[in-house]
């Protein structure tokens, strides 16, 4: 519920005769369809729509709710409208942009219930447009993480918890890193010693150093060069160990995260996947964990070692000569700013290249995948010119990106190296006037080369950490999502069901505003086969989803043997429900493994018996590898009819009390059809069966048929009873299918 | 299984495939006080709730207008709104304006990449608006060269004609696409 501006509220109260405002919503469109405001307010018995202009609020509508026959939140294109049916006249009451469609959808349902005299529905999370409360960025469906406002400290703490089991190794890796960096810092210092204590002292002798002194110089030279070699070797060795260890730690930690994430995914409700595309979830698992892996395995050590170098270099420089050090880092802020600007610009141009690449890619994959169609309609030239346009776009973007890169990068390097000139000049003056040694100057030049790279990394560090934390939050979010109730103590054990299924006034909608099933009443005896019939979108699959407890009814109850399905122990329920889905999904592996999917310890005899009953045995044996034929991803090497029979064999082996049969729509030849029908007849025997049947031949097996139409129970009865109803939904469907099959028969 | 005369079914089938074009004299239109449309066909059939939908919303905004009843069944198609009386035309245009809310972007003040999307500040012919899109590829539809439809994360849409943009706005858009 939104808050009304005071003057709007007063204008309503003035005419509402003291009634409480029960619901108030602000629209983001004005009466004339411009971006603006309007308000919808509701008291117990009246509905108001108020607009406001410079003169003050205007009441556009003041309607007694009893005059309304119905209210609907209609989804239009790019906006929505609350349409009121006032005694048969349909009036657009208030418009809103799609950002508010959920809120107004709820308002419409609430008004409907008031009109019908029912209790108003309570708003749930689904009725709110989900936005980040801080930055109002819309949140991903089912996600509460705003990547812009992610709680960095919390995410970091949780991420660091994965380091906990490897504490000792992490400390060792840290020490090795420290050693590596310390060693890397030694060469400039050693160079200073060499220059100041050896070369400078030897120089005045112009090649004629006296014997004892020469020995000392050579001794010193040897020590310093050996030290240089030693530091390099130690740095290399500790570096190798540290990198290997960090790679192990990062990979191991990410393995732990990935395993935890995948186990969580397997236990999530089906609803979680309905709200998201499977592809998006897979990419979240791979991309986000990939991002974390990169971060934990490489970025962290990269950032930490660079930060460490930065601190150490600055410490040494200031300790050696603080004035020169201060002058040296003077251009650092400008260099950082320049780098940030340049990298932002480069990101834009390369993003554009990527965007144009993907456009070119879609043209290419479109026309190559549909090559036969292109050729059949002689459209090759048009496709080539489409490609040419995209390629031209890409060429322009690519050229500009490369040119920008070629121009900006040298500029960046110049800015980054500008500290060097200061060291040369100021350091030079120091040498001339203030007794700074040449060695110190050379050492500074060595350190400054080490300074600007890490400075860059450190300035961009927050960006990387932010990205990683957003990825980690998204991963944690899946881990924390709603899991199926696996086995709470209070659930009822039902190891041996009879299979008496009852739908008791069941209403359900994936989106509450749009019920897919309304008031379904059905009593199915154990062993009875019920055919579910109706046009697509009638709610047949939804009934099955409720029976398998993939979803729970919003109103009413689904019962098995008199027990509310939600209270049955999930293990017992799923063990006794079998399913032959419309798309017979076969997993990668052998046919044997696929049949035994529901009973992994099945004996070969059991598997063969099931395949035989499913009329699958003969074709399986005819494969060169028999039951050990690999079916590949999605079983593409098998025909539709074969896949279906394997799925039936799987269900027969599972031996469920309640069977769900979602018949495939794909047409198959008569011989295969006959085989499948036989297999199904064996499968359904003595099981309570719910069959979504598309073929009349399957419906013949059903004792009764439930005809659904737009989510409502249209007819229930035997095939003959329903057929006898002239003008009935079922009779019409049969008529249509008979015509279709006669057309197919004549046509082909 | 069903004994029906094939001729009747064939006629039904052909009838269902026929497009019914409405000529100006084929119907009478009425507008209720709040703007809702009612219609009576020449054969006296009345439709209490009439919705107008565009068959080609981008190419022929005022032609091929499908009139539909409350159950979304097509009553008929008006080939050209221009052929109707001014009154009818305005009523239908009003209905279309409500159905197709596609503000036209006149200026782009800023485009900013943020985590999870792109944030735009634009000025449209319906007023200023901050909108958020997810990426570029799936949210910007190119209708024809220089003409785009932006679909934001909420499902709202905005139309852009690049030639209508000022130089700075066009530059900002150009950097993106």
CATH number, residue A554: 3.40.50.300
How far apart are alpha carbons A399 and A115 in whole angstroms? 64
- On whether both A166 and A308 belong to a single domain, the answer is yes
What is the full DSSP assignment across B80-143?
EGGGS-HHHHHHHHHHHHHHB--PEEEEEEEEEEETTEEEEEEEETTEEEEEEES-STTTEEEE
Does residue A298 form part of some domain?
yes
How far apart are alpha carbons A87 and A85 in whole angstroms? 6
B 133-152 residues with CB < 8 A to A: 136-137
What's residue A237's pLDDT?
93
- On whether both A14 and A110 belong to a single domain, the answer is yes
Cβ-Cβ contacts under 8 Å, A347 against chain B:
113
Nearest by CB: A97 against B6, B9, B154: B154
Q: What number is the average pLDDT over the span A218-237?
A: 91
ipTM of the complex: 0.83
How far apart are alpha carbons A598 and A620 in whole angstroms? 19
- On whether both A106 and A63 belong to a single domain, the answer is yes
How far apart are alpha carbons A681 and A668 in whole angstroms? 18
pLDDT-based confidence at B2, cuts 50/70/90? very low
How far apart are alpha carbons B108 and A93 in whole angstroms? 32
Nearest by CB: B127 against A36, A91, A351: A36
Question: How would you label A704-723 residue by residue, b for 16+ Cβ within 10 Å and e otherwise?
Answer: bbbbbbebebbbbbebeebb
Could you tell me if A347 lies within 8 Å of chain B, comparing CB atoms? yes
Chain A residue with minimum CA distance to B39:
A89
Does residue A680 form part of some domain?
no
Cβ-Cβ contacts under 8 Å, B119 against chain A:
137
What are the structure tokens assigned to A285, written together?
Answer: 């698992």
Q: Quote the mean pLDDT of chain A.
A: 81
Chain B residue with minimum CA distance to A99:
B154
| Gap from A139 CA to chain B (nearest CA, Å) | 9
Does residue A233 form part of some domain?
yes
**CB-based contact A147 B127, cutoff 8 Å:** no
- Is the pLDDT reported for residue B19 higher than 50? yes
- On whether both A414 and A450 belong to a single domain, the answer is no
How far apart are alpha carbons A357 and A364 in whole angstroms? 10
pLDDT-based confidence at A511, cuts 50/70/90? low
> End of a domain among A127, A158, A185?
A127
A 462-521 residues with CB < 8 A to B: 466-467, 470
Most confident of A540-549, B4-13, B29-38, B164-173: B164-173
pLDDT-based confidence at B6, cuts 50/70/90? very low
- On whether both A279 and A363 belong to a single domain, the answer is no
Neighbours of A542 (CB within 10 A): 22
* B131, B137, B139, best to mutate vs chain A, most A CBs in 10 Å: B137
Give the start-end residues of each E strand in A117-168: none
pLDDT in tens, A107-155: 888 888 888 777 776 666 555 666 677 776 766 545 566 666 766 777 7
- On whether both A117 and A147 belong to a single domain, the answer is no
pLDDT-based confidence at B78, cuts 50/70/90? very high
Does residue A677 form part of some domain?
no
Question: How would you label B27-47 residue by residue, b for 16+ Cβ within 10 Å and e otherwise?
Answer: bebebbeeebbbbeeeeeeeb
Please give the tally of structural domains in chain A: 5
- On whether both A554 and A696 belong to a single domain, the answer is yes
Which are the contacts of A259, defined by CB distance < 8 A and separation ≥ 6? Answer: none
Q: What number is the average pLDDT over the span B154-174?
A: 92
* A30, A47, A62, A79, best to mutate vs chain B, most B CBs in 10 Å: A79
Higher pLDDT, A21 or A279: A21
What's residue A664's pLDDT?
64
**CB-based contact A735 B2, cutoff 8 Å:** yes
Residue for token pair 């006149």: B106
Q: What number is the average pLDDT over the span A481-497?
A: 70
- Is the pLDDT reported for residue A278 higher than 80? no
**CB-based contact B36 A89, cutoff 8 Å:** yes
Q: Answer yes or no: are the C-beta atoms of A67 and A78 closer than 8 Å.
A: no
Q: What number is the average pLDDT over the span A635-651?
A: 81
How far apart are alpha carbons A183 and A152 in whole angstroms? 33
How far apart are alpha carbons A298 and A55 in whole angstroms? 63
DSSP H helices, A329-437, are 332-369, 371-376, 380-416, 418-433
**Prediction pTM value:** 0.62
What's residue B1's pLDDT?
38
- On whether both A569 and A595 belong to a single domain, the answer is no
> What is the CB-side half-sphere exposure of residue A741 using CA atoms within 13 A?
15
- On whether both A421 and A478 belong to a single domain, the answer is no
CA distances from A425 to A162, A430, A626, B170 (A): 50, 9, 84, 46
- On whether both A306 and A201 belong to a single domain, the answer is yes
Cβ-Cβ contacts under 8 Å, A129 against chain B:
154
Q: What number is the average pLDDT over the span A69-73?
A: 87
Does residue A45 form part of some domain?
yes
Which domain does A342 fall in, by range? 333-431
pLDDT in tens, B59-76: 888 888 999 988 878 888
How far apart are alpha carbons A550 and A579 in whole angstroms? 13
Which candidate, A221, A233, A219, places its Cα nearest to that of A186? Answer: A233
What pairs with residue B132 in β-bridges? B119
- On whether both A314 and A290 belong to a single domain, the answer is yes
pLDDT-based confidence at A233, cuts 50/70/90? very high
Which are the contacts of A296, defined by CB distance < 8 A and separation ≥ 6? Answer: A159, A162, A249, A250, A253, A254
* A76, A97, A725, best to mutate vs chain B, most B CBs in 10 Å: A97
CA distances from A331 to A12, A105, A336, A448, A614 (A): 63, 58, 9, 12, 79
- On whether both A456 and A384 belong to a single domain, the answer is no
Q: Is A96 helix (H, G, I), strand (E, B) or coil?
A: strand
Lowest mean pLDDT among A63-77, A129-143, A287-301, A429-443: A129-143
């Amino acid at each position: 519920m939104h808050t009304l501006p005071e003057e709007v509220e007063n204008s309503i109260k003035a005419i509402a005769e003291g009634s409480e405002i029960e619901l108030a919503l602000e629209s983001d469109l004005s009466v004339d369809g411009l971006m603006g405001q309007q308000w919808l307010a509701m008291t117990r018995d009246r509905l108001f729509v108020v607009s406001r202009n410079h003169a003050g609020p205007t009441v556009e509508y003041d309607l007694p709710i009893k005059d309304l026959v119905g209210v609907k939140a209609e989804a239009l294109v790019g906006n929505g409208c609350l349409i009121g049916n006032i005694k048969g006249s349909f009036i657009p009451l208030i418009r809103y942009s799609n950002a508010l469609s959920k809120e107004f959808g709820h308002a419409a349902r609430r008004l409907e219930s008031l009109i019908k005299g029912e209790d108003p529905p309570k708003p749930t999370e689904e009725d709110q447009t989900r936005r980040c409360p801080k930055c109002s960025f819309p949140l991903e469906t089912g996600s509460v993480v705003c990547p812009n406002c992610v709680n960095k400290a919390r995410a970091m703490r949780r991420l660091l918890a994965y380091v906990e089991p490897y504490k000792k190794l992490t400390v060792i890796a840290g020490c090795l890193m420290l050693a590596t960096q310390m060693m890397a810092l030694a060469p400039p210092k050693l160079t200073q010693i060499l220059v100041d204590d050896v070369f400078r002292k030897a120089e005045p002798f112009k090649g004629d150093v006296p014997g004892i002194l020469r020995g000392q110089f050579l001794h010193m030279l040897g020590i310093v060069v050996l030290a240089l070699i030693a530091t390099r070797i130690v740095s290399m060795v500790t570096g190798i160990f540290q990198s290997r260890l960090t790679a192990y730690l990062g990979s191991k930690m990410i393995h732990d995260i990935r395993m935890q994430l995948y186990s969580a995914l397997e236990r999530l409700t089906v609803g979680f996947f309905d709200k998201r595309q499977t592809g998006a979830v897979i990419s979240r698992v791979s991309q986000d964990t990939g991002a974390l892996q990169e971060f934990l395995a490489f970025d962290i050590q990269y950032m930490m070692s660079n930060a460490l170098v930065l601190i150490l270099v600055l410490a040494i420089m200031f300790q050696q000569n603080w004035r020169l050090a201060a002058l040296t880092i003077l251009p650092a802020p400008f260099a950082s700013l320049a780098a940030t600007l340049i990298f932002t610009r480069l990101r834009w141009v390369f993003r554009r290249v990527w965007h144009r690449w993907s456009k070119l890619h879609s043209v290419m994959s479109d026309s190559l995948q549909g090559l036969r169609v292109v050729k059949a309609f002689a459209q090759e030239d048009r496709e080539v010119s489409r490609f040419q346009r995209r390629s031209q776009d890409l060429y322009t973007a690519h050229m500009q990106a490369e040119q920008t890169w070629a121009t900006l990068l040298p500029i960046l390097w110049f800015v980054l190296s500008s500290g060097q000139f200061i060291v040369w000049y100021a350091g030079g003056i120091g040498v001339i006037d203030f007794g700074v040694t040449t060695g110190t100057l050379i050492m500074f030049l060595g350190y400054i080369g080490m300074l600007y790279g890490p400075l860059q990394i450190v300035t961009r560090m927050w960006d990387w950490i932010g990205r990683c934390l957003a990825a980690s939050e998204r991963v944690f979010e899946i881990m924390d999502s709603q899991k199926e109730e696996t086995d709470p103590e209070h659930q009822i054990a039902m190891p041996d069901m009879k299979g008496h299924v009852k739908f008791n006034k069941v209403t359900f909608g994936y989106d509450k505003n749009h019920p897919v099933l309304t008031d379904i009443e059905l009593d199915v005896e154990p062993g009875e086969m019920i055919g579910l019939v109706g046009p697509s979108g009638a709610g047949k699959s939804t009934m099955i989803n409720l029976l398998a407890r993939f979803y729970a009814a919003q109103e009413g109850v689904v019962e098995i043997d008199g027990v509310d399905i939600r209270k049955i122990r999930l293990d017992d329920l799923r063990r006794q429900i079998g399913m032959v889905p419309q798309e017979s999904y076969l997993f990668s592996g052998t046919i044997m493994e696929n049949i035994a999917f529901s009973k992994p310890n099945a004996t070969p005899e059991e598997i063969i018996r099931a395949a035989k009953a499913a009329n699958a045995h003969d074709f399986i044996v005819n494969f060169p590898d028999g039951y050990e034929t690999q079916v590949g991803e999605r079983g593409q090497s098998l025909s539709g009819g074969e896949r279906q029979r394997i799925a039936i064999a799987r269900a027969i082996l599972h031996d469920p009390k309640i069977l769900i049969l979602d018949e495939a729509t794909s047409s198959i030849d008569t011989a295969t059809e006959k085989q499948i029908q036989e297999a199904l007849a064996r499968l359904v025997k003595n099981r309570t069966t719910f069959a979504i049947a598309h073929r009349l031949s399957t419906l013949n097996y059903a004792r009764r048929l439930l005809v659904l139409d737009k989510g409502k129970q249209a007819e229930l009865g035997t095939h003959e009873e329903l057929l006898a109803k002239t003008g009935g939904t079922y009779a019409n469907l049969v008529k249509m299918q008979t015509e279709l099959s006669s057309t197919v028969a004549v046509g082909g | 299984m069903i004994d029906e005369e094939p001729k009747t079914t064939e006629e039904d089938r052909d009838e269902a495939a026929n497009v019914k074009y409405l000529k100006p004299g084929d119907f009478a239109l009425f507008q209720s006080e709040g703007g809702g449309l009612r219609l009576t066909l020449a054969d006296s059939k009345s439709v209490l709730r009439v919705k107008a939908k565009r068959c080609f919303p981008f190419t022929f905004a005022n032609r091929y207008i499908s009139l539909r009843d409350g159950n979304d069944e097509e009553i008929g198609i008006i080939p050209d709104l221009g052929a109707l009386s001014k009154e009818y035309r305005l009523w239908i245009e009003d209905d279309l304006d409500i159905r197709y809310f596609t503000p036209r972007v006149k200026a782009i003040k800023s485009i900013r990449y943020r985590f999870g999307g792109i944030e735009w500040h634009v000025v449209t012919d319906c007023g200023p608006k901050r909108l958020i899109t997810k990426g570029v590829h799936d949210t910007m539809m190119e209708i024809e060269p220089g003409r785009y439809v932006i679909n934001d994360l909420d499902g709202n849409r905005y139309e852009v004609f690049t030639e209508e943009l000022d130089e700075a706005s066009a530059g900002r858009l150009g950097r993106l696409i």
